[in-house]
Amino acid sequence: MINYDFKSELLEDVFEVKTSPLLPIYIIDFKVVAHFINGFYDIAEEVAQGDEQLLRKIIKAMWAYRLNRGPDMLEPFDYVAIIADDYKGFVGDNASVNGKGYWRHIEAHKLKMQ
């Protein structure tokens, strides 16, 4: 059984998952998966040979595989999946060249990993 708790924070909404029994949480970065699938688009288009419906089915299957499989380097296991999507916004002049970026730019800057 999964319970969801939503808490409103000053700068963001926080989503907490409570599971019973406790399962590992697998966080999926939406943009990383989209970039991965986009890299295979030309191949999928070639396989579909102009059939738009088949192309859509192939792309949907690629999404289903990436979202439901879990980490590729591990044997399949039970987990709770959370899909996260970054918003590119103002991170400050010290964390980016043009002042815009993602949370990882701020963290990399803190660690002096520009």
**pLDDT at residue 111, rounded to an integer:** 84
- Among 17-21, 33-37, 71-75, the range with the most confident prediction by mean pLDDT is 33-37
Task: Convert the pLDDT of each residue in 51-80 to its tens digit.
Answer: 999 999 999 999 998 888 878 788 888 888
6 vs 16 pLDDT, higher one? 16
Q: What is the DSSP letter of 93?
A: T
Is the pLDDT confidence value at 48 over 80? yes
21-55 residues labelled b (16+ CB within 10 A) or e (exposed): eeeeebeeeeeeeeeebeeeeeebbeebeeeeeeb
**pLDDT at residue 81, rounded to an integer:** 84
The percent helix, strand, coil of the chain (3-state, each to 5) is 40, 25, 40
